[in-house]
C-alpha cells in the first residue's frame, strides 16, 4: 500500500455490511477429520485458513531451502541483504509523518499511515523493488545505457526535498543519487523504445468498497473466497442503494498502462477469481478479478499521460521499467516470501497470493 490510488468512482451506489472479525486472528486448533459433521467442519476450516496460513507455511519452507540465508532477494546469484533492506525501510518510515501519503505522486486520496503494518509492508516491497531493479541494471544487457551526468542527477535532486525523494525512489537517504541515476537510465531506455510494444495487462473486476479498516476488508476477503456467492449478494445489495458505508461496481475495466499505481497491490498479477485488498482514500476496497489477459500495449502514449498527470514521477518510472522487461528475461529473481514475490510482468515485488 505504498501509493494511494483512486479506484473508479462507485460512491453513488451504497450498501451496508457488518464488519467481519480481523483477518489473521488465531483460528481454532484441531481441524482433524472425523466421521460425520466434524469432518465437514475440518474441511471448511482448512479452506478458510488457506489464503493466509498456507502462505505462512510456504514462506517458512522456501526461506529454509534458500542457499542465501539472510537475503531479502537474490538476483542471478547476487544476494540483497535482508538487514540492509529493513534498515532502509526503518529510515524511510522514520522520515514519514502519519498524515503523509506514502507517495505524494499518488492521486488525491490518502491512507491512514498510522497503521504501522500497512506502511511497513508497502515500504518493504517498494525498497526491495528498488534494490532488485538496481541489481538488474548491472546486467550486461544495460551496458549500452550510460550513467547520466552528475550535473543532471544533482539538478533533479535539488528539485525535491531529499527525504521525500528517497521515499519516492525507495532508497536510503544516502543513496538518492543512485536512485535518480537508475531512474534516469531506465527512462532513457523507455524513451528509446517508446514505439515498441510492451506487455500490457487488462483486468475486468468487481469492486466492493469501502471498509472502515484493513482488518475488516481482509476478513471479508477470506469469507468471500470461501463463499463467492456472498460477494455477489453484497455487490447486488450495494447496487440497490441500501444505506451504509459501502459502494459497489461490476465489470470495471483497467489496464496496467493506464493505472500503473495499482500494480503494487497485485491487481494486475493475480489470476481470475482472486480477491485483492486495496487502500482507497481512508477506507479499504475489495477487488475481485473476473478476467485477466496480457496484450501488446503502446508505451509511448502511456508515458506521456503519466508525465502530465497526478500519477507523477513514481508511476512514470514504473511504466518505464516495462520497457526493460525484455532485457531481463534471462535473469533469475527470487524473493524471500516474507516480502512478497517478484512479478516479471509488472517488474515489481507484489504481495503473496
pLDDT score of 14: 38
Q: Determine, yes or no, domain membership for 134.
A: yes
- Closest residue by Cα to residue 208 from 171, 181, 237: 237
255 three-state secondary structure: strand
In a domain, 245, yes or no: yes
Q: Is residue 26 part of a domain?
A: no
State the Cα–Cα distance between residues 216 and 244, nearest whole angstrom: 15
The string of pLDDT tens digits covering residues 24-38 is 443 333 333 333 444
Total domains present in the chain: 1
The residues near 319 (Cβ < 8 Å, ≥ 6 apart) are 190, 257, 260, 299, 302, 303, 306
Examine residue 279 and state whether it is found in any structural domain, yes or no.
yes
| Residue range of the domain that includes 297 | 1-20+40-353
| pTM given for the model | 0.75
The answer to the question of residue 34 being in a domain is no
SS3 for 120?
Answer: helix
Q: Is residue 25 a part of any domain in this protein?
A: no
One digit per residue, the tens of pLDDT, for the chain of length 353 reads: 444 445 554 443 333 333 444 444 433 333 333 334 444 434 433 333 333 333 333 333 333 334 567 899 999 999 999 999 999 999 998 876 543 444 333 333 334 444 557 778 889 999 999 999 999 999 888 888 889 999 999 998 888 888 888 988 999 999 999 999 999 999 999 999 888 899 999 999 999 986 888 889 999 999 999 999 999 999 888 877 654 445 788 999 999 999 998 999 999 999 999 999 988 777 789 999 999 999 999 898 888 877 766 556 778 889 999 999 888 888 899 999 999 999 999 999 999 87
Alpha carbons 16 and 36: distance in angstroms, whole number: 36
Confidence at residue 102, expressed as pLDDT on a 0 to 100 scale: 41
Residue pLDDT, tens place only, 185-203: 999 999 998 888 999 999 9
User: In Å, what is the CA distance from 211 to each residue of 15, 24, 119?
Assistant: 11, 17, 18
- The pLDDT value recorded for residue 99 is 39
pLDDT given for residue 33 in this prediction:
34
The answer to whether residue 33 is domain-embedded is: no
Amino acid at each position: 500500500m505504498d501509493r494511494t490510488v483512486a479506484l473508479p468512482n462507485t460512491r453513488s451506489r451504497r450498501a451496508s455490511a457488518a464488519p467481519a472479525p480481523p483477518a489473521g486472528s488465531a483460528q481454532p486448533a484441531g481441524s482433524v477429520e472425523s466421521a460425520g459433521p466434524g469432518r465437514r467442519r475440518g474441511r471448511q476450516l482448512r479452506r478458510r485458513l488457506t489464503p493466509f496460513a498456507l502462505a505462512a507455511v510456504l514462506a517458512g519452507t522456501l526461506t529454509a531451502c534458500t542457499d542465501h540465508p539472510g537475503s531479502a532477494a537474490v538476483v542471478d546469484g547476487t544476494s540483497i541483504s535482508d538487514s540492509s533492506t529493513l534498515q532502509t525501510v526503518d529510515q524511510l518510515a522514520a522520515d514519514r509523518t502519519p498524515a503523509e501519503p506514502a507517495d505524494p505522486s499518488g492521486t488525491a486520496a490518502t491512507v491512514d499511515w498510522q497503521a504501522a503494518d500497512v506502511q511497513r509492508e508497502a515500504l518493504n516491497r517498494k525498497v526491495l523493488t528498488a534494490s532488485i531493479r538496481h541489481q538488474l541494471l548491472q546486467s550486461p544487457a544495460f551496458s549500452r545505457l550510460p550513467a547520466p551526468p552528475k550535473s543532471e542527477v544533482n539538478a533533479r535532486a535539488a528539485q525535491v526535498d531529499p527525504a521525500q525523494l528517497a521515499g519516492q525512489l525507495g532508497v536510503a537517504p544516502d543513496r538518492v543519487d543512485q536512485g535518480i541515476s537508475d531512474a534516469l537510465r531506465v527512462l532513457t531506455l523507455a524513451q528509446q523504445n517508446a514505439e515498441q510494444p510492451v506487455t500490457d495487462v487488462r483486468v475486468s473486476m468487481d469492486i466492493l468498497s469501502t471498509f472502515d479498516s484493513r482488518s475488516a476488508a481482509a476478513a471479508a476477503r477470506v469469507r468471500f473466497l470461501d463463499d463467492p456467492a456472498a460477494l455477489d449478494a453484497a455487490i447486488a445489495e450495494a447496487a440497490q442503494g441500501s444505506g451504509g458505508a459501502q459502494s459497489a461496481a461490476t465489470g470495471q475495466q483497467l489496464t496496467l498502462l493506464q493505472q500503473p499505481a495499482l500494480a503494487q497491490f497485485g491487481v494486475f498479477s493475480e489470476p481470475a477469481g482472486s480477491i485483492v485488498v486495496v487502500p482507497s482514500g481512508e477506507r479499504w476496497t475489495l477487488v475481485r478479478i473476473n478476467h485477466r489477459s496480457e496484450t501488446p500495449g503502446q508505451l509511448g502514449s502511456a508515458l506521456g499521460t503519466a508525465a502530465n498527470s497526478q500519477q507523477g514521477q513514481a508511476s512514470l518510472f514504473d511504466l518505464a521499467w516495462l520497457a526493460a522487461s525484455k532485457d531481463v528475461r534471462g535473469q533469475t529473481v527470487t524473493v524471500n516470501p516474507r516480502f512478497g514475490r517478484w512479478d516479471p510482468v509488472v517488474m515489481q515485488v507484489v504481495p503473496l497470493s
